[in-house]
């Protein structure tokens, strides 16, 4: 059961490609024109890292791949090293799929699969589309972990190869959402409605941050929204933590939540109760 934001290894300090990508080869040298074309077609994507995880990022054991680049600037981001596409490494979709193929037995045994995360996966839709298509063709369960802000980039061809979306709803009111992310809330809500209409399973994720997202005025609209989507099978209330704070410092970025405490058990339970009161399964 996922009860907290998954904590990733601290990779703010650049590591070798062999460490960052765990054996997935980096694409060879390309001219600028070749690189732009390869990214446009999705042959190559900018990948930060990947790892095998269990009990987070979807059901079973999953190979979660973190793409580089994100349009949001969430105050509590625990992977700020994935915000910039420049921190990614060029990887061919076929090479990533070759690595995915190696774990088919693990995925079958655990009812797991792959999750494309970030950063923001939908910032690289052509690459995501290729990887999802290849994984689906192998019979592997697929998931996207996304804010939904770039949901317009997910066309019907992509969604046809998606089994599950972990939809991160940062706040339920516009003012708080802008304070948390610097962006507008509506694209996320619109994307969730599209997913539900398409019959794609949704897990809603909400990060509970004392003094930022703990007001019922921002939680209750999320609960109402989730309850109104037919395809929401669970809601994960993820308690804020400080385990990613050092990455902000190492990247020379200002961390606004330096003195924010973790939420109490009572606050977490009260928040989950709001979702349960709408008939939602909550973790």
Residue 282 lies in a domain: no
Whether the per-residue pLDDT at 11 is higher than 70: the answer is no
**Residue 5: which residues within 8 A CB-CB, separation 6 or more?**
78, 207, 238, 239, 240, 241
Write down the mean pLDDT value for the chain. 92
Angle between helices 93-102 and 125-137 (to 10 degrees): 30
Residue 5 lies in a domain: no
Residue 189 lies in a domain: yes
For 272-281, the pLDDT digits (tens) are 999 999 999 9
Residue 135 lies in a domain: yes
For 158-209, the pLDDT digits (tens) are 999 999 999 999 999 999 999 999 999 999 999 999 999 999 999 999 999 9
Residue 7 lies in a domain: no
Q: How would you list the strands of the sheet with 61-67, edge to edge?
A: 89-92, 44-54, 61-67, 113-117, 141-146, 164-168, 201-208, 232-239
SS3 142: strand
Q: Give the structural domain span for 66.
A: 17-276
How would residue 6 be classed by pLDDT, with cut points 50, 70 and 90? very low
Residue 30 lies in a domain: yes
- Report the Cα–Cα distance between both ends of the chain, in Å, rounded: 7
For 198-209, the pLDDT digits (tens) are 999 999 999 999
Specify the higher pLDDT residue, 6 or 45: 45
Q: Are strands 113-117 and 141-146 parallel, antiparallel or unpaired?
A: parallel
Q: What is the pLDDT of residue 46?
A: 94
> What is the total count of domains within the chain?
1
Helices (H), 160-234: 174-181, 186-197, 216-227
Residue 2 lies in a domain: no
Here the CATH number for the domain that contains residue 65 is: 3.20.20.70
Residue 1 lies in a domain: no
Count of beta carbons in the 10 Å neighbourhood of residue 90: 19
Supply 161's token pair: 């190869």
Please give the model's pTM, rounded to 2 decimal places.
0.91
Measured distance CA(191)–CA(114) in Å, rounded:
21
Whether the per-residue pLDDT at 12 is higher than 70: the answer is no
């Amino acid at each position: 059961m996922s009860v907290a934001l998954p904590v990733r290894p601290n990779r703010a300090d650049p590591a070798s490609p062999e460490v960052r990508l765990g054996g997935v080869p980096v694409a060879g040298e390309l001219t600028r024109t070749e690189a732009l074309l390869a990214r446009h077609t999705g042959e190559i994507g900018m990948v930060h890292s990947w790892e095998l995880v269990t009990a987070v990022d979807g059901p079973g054991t999953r190979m979660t791949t973190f793409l580089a680049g994100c349009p949001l600037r969430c105050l509590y981001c625990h992977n700020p090293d994935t915000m910039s596409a420049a921190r990614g490494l060029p990887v061919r979709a076929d090479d990533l799929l070759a690595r995915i193929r190696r774990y088919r037995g693990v995925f079958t045994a655990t009812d797991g699969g792959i999750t494309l995360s970030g950063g923001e996966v939908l910032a690289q839709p052509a690459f995501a589309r290729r990887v999802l298509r290849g994984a689906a063709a192998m019979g592997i369960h697929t998931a996207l972990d996304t804010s939904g802000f770039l949901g317009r980039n997910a066309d019907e061809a992509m969604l046809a190869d998606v089994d599950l979306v972990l939809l991160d709803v940062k706040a339920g009111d516009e003012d708080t959402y802008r304070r948390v992310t610097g962006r507008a809330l509506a694209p996320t809500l619109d994307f969730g409605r599209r997913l539900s209409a398409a019959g794609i399973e949704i897990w809603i994720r909400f990060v509970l941050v004392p003094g930022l997202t703990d007001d019922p005025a921002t939680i209750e609209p999320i609960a109402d929204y989730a309850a109104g989507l037919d395809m929401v099978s669970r809601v994960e209330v993820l308690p804020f933590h400080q385990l990613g704070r050092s990455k902000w410092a190492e990247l020379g970025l200002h961390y606004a939540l330096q003195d924010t405490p973790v939420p109490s058990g009572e606050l977490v339970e009260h928040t989950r109760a709001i979702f349960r009161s709408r008939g939602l399964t909550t973790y």
